Amino acid sequence: MNQSQPSESSFISLSAFVQTLKKQKVAENSIESYISDLKGFLQSQDIAVDSIEPTAITRIQQQHIESYLQHLIGKNVKYSTIRRILASIRRFFFFLEDEGIIKINPSQAILLRSTRRNAFTPEEALQIFRYLSKRQRSQSTIEVLRFFRDELILLLMVFHGLRQYQIPKLKLSSVQQSNGTIILNVRKGFGIKLEGLVLNKLRMYLVMRNSNSESVFLEPFESKPITVSGLMAMLIELRYALTLDCTPKKLFNTYLYFQDNPEEKKRILDILTFESPRNATGVIPNA
Domain 122-275 has CATH 3.40.50.720: no
State the pLDDT at residue 278: 56
How far, in Å, are 7, 156, 237 from residue 54 at the CA level? 11, 52, 59
Q: Which residues of the chain are in CATH 1.10.150.130 domains? A: 8-98
* Topology of domain 8-98, CATH: DNA polymerase; domain 1 (1.10.150)
Q: Which residues of the chain are in CATH 1.10.443.10 domains? A: 122-275
State the pLDDT at residue 29: 92
Length of the chain: 287
pLDDT values of the chain reduced to their tens digit, one per residue, 287 residues: 444 444 444 678 788 899 999 999 999 999 999 999 999 999 999 988 887 888 888 899 999 998 998 888 778 787 788 889 999 999 999 999 998 888 888 998 887 766 666 889 899 999 999 999 999 988 888 999 999 999 999 999 999 999 999 999 999 998 888 777 888 888 877 888 888 899 999 999 999 998 889 999 999 888 899 999 999 999 999 999 999 989 999 999 999 888 888 888 999 999 999 998 754 433 343 33
- Of 134, 136, 145, the residue nearest 207 (C-alpha): 145
Count CB atoms within 10 A of the CB of residue 202. Answer: 22
Judging by beta carbons within 10 Å of its beta carbon (0-12, 13-18, 19+), is residue 221 exposed, middle or buried? Answer: exposed
Phi first, then psi: give them for residue 51, nearest 5 degrees.
-145, 95
